[in-house]
Chain A
């Protein structure tokens, strides 16, 4: 795997600096506003009590979606470590699974970004696998998917937003990248810059709201149906309609998220910035 692109990952020191700065900003915000009751939790009316809550594992000091994020992280890391621990020419079942996943991501990256797309596998692959696992987890009663909480999806979308801007700046340089915002006509450049700026800011908002809204709504419907399960009919509706539908939503929303991320990255690192004179 990854023979010719192994030397150029989507990292680079700047990427890790951005990520580190994000973590620091998060901690500062949490320390500054945490005592003043920033709303880390949604209204609890439509959430099933999850099983960790019953066990009392994290305690009340940690919101449930963070705990489940850790759970999914642990699961993914475990699968990755077990799958790649002993690489064989004839892959075992787990290594086969990992290879199929990687190949699928490579195919998408090649298709959406082009021949320079494979260096973005760490970002896209991590986001895709995390979101997919999390969305599918929501179909099991007793588990609460982290992506049903806006905080998680905002974190993902902001990471994507900063990443694609960083990739664009790294590829073209700051001035050329900003020039791309101004459009082809010099007279309209200030107005175009503001419009493009707002359009770019809208991207993480729409990314995060779309994912959160879909999964949260789906969760809410499932919880309401299951809370009426003693009427038998809602249980049948859940089994017959909501379960296939939510499996479908889980996959489609994952696909939408990573596909849009790749479209944004492709727009940022594209050669010559041919986007504006195509319209």
Chain B
């Protein structure tokens, strides 16, 4: 496949991934905190902290995806080509 501008299909595919991964990271963080709270019995605190971590992780993924999109490839693929 020749190295060219990322196709519309590829852009669309990548764009459609953003929303779900943002929510999923938050949900995972909440679930970890909730589980730890139930296990350790430490009030709502771990849940809050891990939800914040989850939101941070979601935004980290978001920024990575968007940063990737401008170059149209995964990190490292451009520098390694030829």
Question: Which A residues lie at the B interface, using CB under 8 A?
Answer: 107-108, 110-115, 191, 194-196, 198-199, 201-203, 205-206, 209-210, 213, 252, 255-256, 259-260, 262-263, 266-267, 270-271, 274-275, 278-279
Residues of B within 8 A of A262 (CB): 74
Question: Cβ of A260: which chain B residues have Cβ within 8 Å of it?
Answer: 17
Closest to A210 in B: B20
Do the beta carbons of B17 and A256 come within 8 Å of each other?
Answer: yes
From A191, A202, A209, A256, B61 is in contact (CB under 8 Å) with A202
B58 near A111: Cβ-Cβ < 8 Å: no
Contact of B21 (CB < 8 Å), options: A115, A203, A267, A278: A203
Complex: A270 Cα to B17 Cα, angstroms: 22
9 A–B contacts from the bound complex (CB under 8 Å): A196-B57, A196-B60, A199-B25, A199-B61, A202-B54, A206-B21, A209-B24, A263-B68, A275-B76
B12 at the interface (CB under 8 A from A): yes
- Determine chain A's interface SS by DSSP, over half rule: helix
* B81 at interface, CB cutoff 8 A: yes
Residue from A108, A114, A279 within 8 A of B80 (CB atoms): A114
Q: A114 to B81, Cβ gap below 8 A? A: yes
- Docked complex Cα distance between A275 and B61 (Å): 12
Most B CB within 10 A of own CB, among A108, A210, A262, A271? A210
Q: How many B residues, CB 8 Å from partner?
A: 38
B77 touches A113 (CB 8 A): yes
Which of A108, A205, A206, A271 interacts with B17 by CB under 8 Å?
Answer: A206
When chains A and B are docked, how far (Å) is the Cα of A205 from the Cα of B64? 18
In the complex formed, the residue of B with least CB distance to A204 is B24
CB–CB A114/B76 < 8 A: yes
Tell me the residues in window 53-74 of chain B with beta carbons closer than 8 Å to chain A beta carbons.
53-54, 56-58, 60-61, 63-64, 67-68, 73-74
18 other contacts beyond A112-B74, A259-B13, with CB at 8 A cut-off?
A111-B1, A112-B73, A114-B77, A114-B81, A194-B50, A198-B50, A198-B53, A202-B21, A203-B24, A205-B27, A206-B17, A206-B20, A206-B21, A206-B25, A255-B13, A259-B14, A267-B74, A279-B63
Beyond A198-B25, A267-B75, whether A209 also contacts B20 by CB under 8 A is: yes
Tell me whether A198 and B29 are in contact (CB under 8 A). Answer: yes
Closest to A259 in B: B13
Contact for B1 among A110, A252, A271, A275, CB less than 8 A: A110
